[in-house]
Structure 1
Amino acid sequence: MTVALMWEARAPEGRGGELLAWARSQELPRDPGRRETFRAPQDRVLVVTWWDAEPHEPLPELPDPPGGLASRPVHRWRFESLGTE
């Protein structure tokens, strides 16, 4: 089964590049099957990792950014793949 973990944070205004660089530098204790990083307006950064795992299996996640690099709490979601159509 494929599980996707989504991690999304918003930097204080003008610090999106710094947050993006920090997110890209984060290593996980084990490698996911796939990892993709996105940026969006309002200094937001999204990281999606795909894992071959069971839906409720504990999986490594990116930590919260260091103090001052996020303007609000990190949002995290877990999705179970239903395949492609």
Structure 2
Amino acid sequence: MTEKPVTEMSFEEAMAALEGVVGQLERGEVALEQSIALYERGAALKEHCARKLAEAESRVEMIRAQEGKAVGTAPAEGL
């Protein structure tokens, strides 16, 4: 099975894949070399998710600015 490249994943796909990686590493049922590869993929997935969240935050700030609302971040529960 070929894994989908991280850069082609949606945020939701990347989060699900990251959860899978973390689960495998926590169970400790993989060989050392596979653990290292999983860790590297997990780091890439984490970075991808962080980038996607930052992009979403920027888009929300732009929308708020266009509506004449204060630009900046606010807790989600405050929206």
TM-score norm. by structure 1 comes to: 0.27
Instruction: Tell me which structure has the larger Cα radius of gyration.
Output: 2
